[in-house]
Each structure stands twice: as C-alpha cells, then as structure tokens.
Amino acid sequence: MQHLYKYTDKPELFLKDGYLRASQLSALNDPLEASYNKATLNKICEDYELDAKVVLRGVDELGVICLTESKDNLLMWSHYANYHEGAVIEFKIETKYRTSCIGDLDLDETYKLLEKLDKKERKAIIPAYKKKKIGLLSDLVVSGLSEGNESHKRLFTGECLPVRYRPSPICHTTMSDSNLGDLDWTGKEDRLSFELFRQKSDAWSYEKEHRITLKLAQAHRVQIDSQAELDRLVHEFKMNEMFLEELNAIAKKKNDDPKIIFDLDEVPNKDDRMAYGRTLAKLSNNAKNLYLFRTDERHLWSISFGCKASPEDINKWSILAKARNKSIEEYKAEFLSNHYALKFEKKA
C-alpha cells in the first residue's frame, strides 16, 4: 500500500465528479518536459529499428497524472494549491505491482455485452459498470489504442511510477547515458514515448513526483474548449465531415457555456469509442482541452485544507468530500511557530 498526494487549487473540480486530469505536453509547466537530443534520438531509433516520427507523434498523444510523496512541501503548496488557499488530496493505493498500479482493466467483455443491448437497456446498465472499479482509475480501456500493436496493454495500464530525475535528457549524449539498453522493448515506439515522459530535470527532485502515463484516447471524459476547436479537426487535420457529425452527436453542451463534453465511457461500441478518443486526442496542443479519468472513491483517503483556505471553502469542500467518501479524513494545515514547516491538525 502506498499513499500519494495531489495538490489542487480548486478541489471542488475533483470532488464533484471524481475525475483527475491527465495533462498533455502543452499543459505541463516545465518547458523541458519530454525533451531529447535529436541526433541521439535518431541513432536510438536506428539501432532499435524504430520510427522517430512515430515516437514524437506518440508523445503528443500522451498525458500524465502527477502525484507526489509529500503533502507538506511549502513551495508546492504555493505553486499548485493557490498559495496555501487550496487543498491536498491523499489517495491510498493498493497494488499487485511493484510500485502502485492505478487500474488494469480491459473492457472488451463489457463492450461485447453492451453491443447486444438496445439503447434503453444500455442506459440502465452503464451506471452499474461505473461501480465496478479496480484501482484508483476505474474501467480503464487498454486495448485498441493503436493499430497493429498490443504493447499498450503493458504500458498504459494506469501504473503509477516514480519520475526519474536526471541532470540531462534521456536522449542527450550516448546510449549508455540513456540507459535504454536495459528496457523491455516490447512496444517499440510506444515504449520510447512512454520513457520520455518518465524523466525530468533533477532541479525538480524536491517534488518527489510519481506519474501515471496514459494515452489521451483512454480518457473517460474529454472537455473541449469550444466549437472552434472541433472545427480544427476538419480544417487542420482534414477530418471527414461525416465523422465529425457523429462526434457532435454525442457531444454535451450547455447554452451558456462554450465548452463541449464528451463522455466516452458511455459510448457502447468499443471501436467507435476508441476512434472518438484518438480523434479528440489530436486537439491536445491546446492546453485548454482537458482529458479526464474517473477515479474510484474508495481510494480517496484524506483531504488537507490549506492554512489560508477560507472557512467557507473548507465547509464547501468538506461537504463534497464526504459525499464522495463518507469515511474520508480531514486535516487543516497550520504553520509551525518556530520552523519553516507545516503541521496538520485532524478535524473532528
């Protein structure tokens, strides 16, 4: 069992619906994320018979859910929790893996069943499937993510792995520096894309970060910033307009909000669901587009309110947290009077 933490400036966004965002490359705050040396990357691809273009395209199709071992880091409270006015959410992760697995469930059998039902029956049964959960992320699709390649069944299962902090990028100088020779190369291009996201500059080592690396196409829910973003699929990516009409047919819109929601886990046909997911992942270069993964509330362990959080916010977040998991523990952060540190008082 492992306990990991998520800093957040707006806990209500998670607590209301239970979704965690997998941040795409364009949304990450470190400009050196997934960096590499072009010449060395090409040499690695040549040695292992990989296609460098596929590797780099794969990076754009990935997202990461970032967690940490530490809930008392003053700098992270400032950077990620609205200058101590936000909160830190604690997850208890039980796993059969060597570190922490956040779900490992293939929905093939689910889709086979749903395809046999009519629309009314599917609508009735889908909520039941949402309750059948494994790991922190529930009902995670791990098949059909890419064509002619089953590597993702081992790479994108929701396993939470510690970040590798390094003085230089993984593809910086030589093969010996990159440590790629020891990797299991099942998965080929997917594997190298995956590894590029596992490294960070050692200047960030204070964050003690762990990452869940996922294909954006696996998202349970996608929130697109506006209709103009969807139109890019036709104008920029030459998407078939008939397919775009299909996509618009499952879109959820509010009259007063330009954002568009796609609940992909409600699409009964697996092939359609993955086609929609891969298509929406093409819009990842806009950081305002969100790729969201549903969590299992049983892994929600505690919430710690920032030392500058208002009583009104604390009360609101407490109600939402208990609605998600009535046994959740609550703490209030306070500054220690004689140290540059925080203490956490458990709320009654």
pLDDT at 216: 96
User: Averaged over 100-127, what is the pLDDT?
Assistant: 47
What tokens does 314 get? 């604390």
| Model confidence pLDDT, tens digit, residues 3-51 | 999 999 999 999 999 999 999 999 999 999 998 888 888 888 888 788 8
In-domain check, residue 196:
yes
In-domain check, residue 316:
no
In-domain check, residue 257:
yes
pLDDT at 128: 45
Most confidently modeled range among 185-194, 267-276, 294-303, 326-335: 326-335
Query: Considering its fold, how many domains does the chain have in total?
Result: 1
In-domain check, residue 346:
no
* Residue spans of alpha helices (H) in the chain: 11-17, 38-47, 52-60, 74-80, 108-114, 119-131, 152-155, 175-178, 189-196, 227-235, 241-249, 270-281, 311-324
pLDDT at 94: 61
Rounded distance, CA 76 to CA 63, Å? 21
In-domain check, residue 343:
no
In-domain check, residue 278:
yes
In-domain check, residue 126:
yes
| Model confidence pLDDT, tens digit, residues 115-128 | 555 555 555 544 44
- Range of 184's domain? 2-299
Most confidently modeled range among 3-7, 97-101, 292-296: 3-7
What tokens does 284 get? 């990842």
In-domain check, residue 136:
yes
Residue 108 has pLDDT above 50, yes or no: no
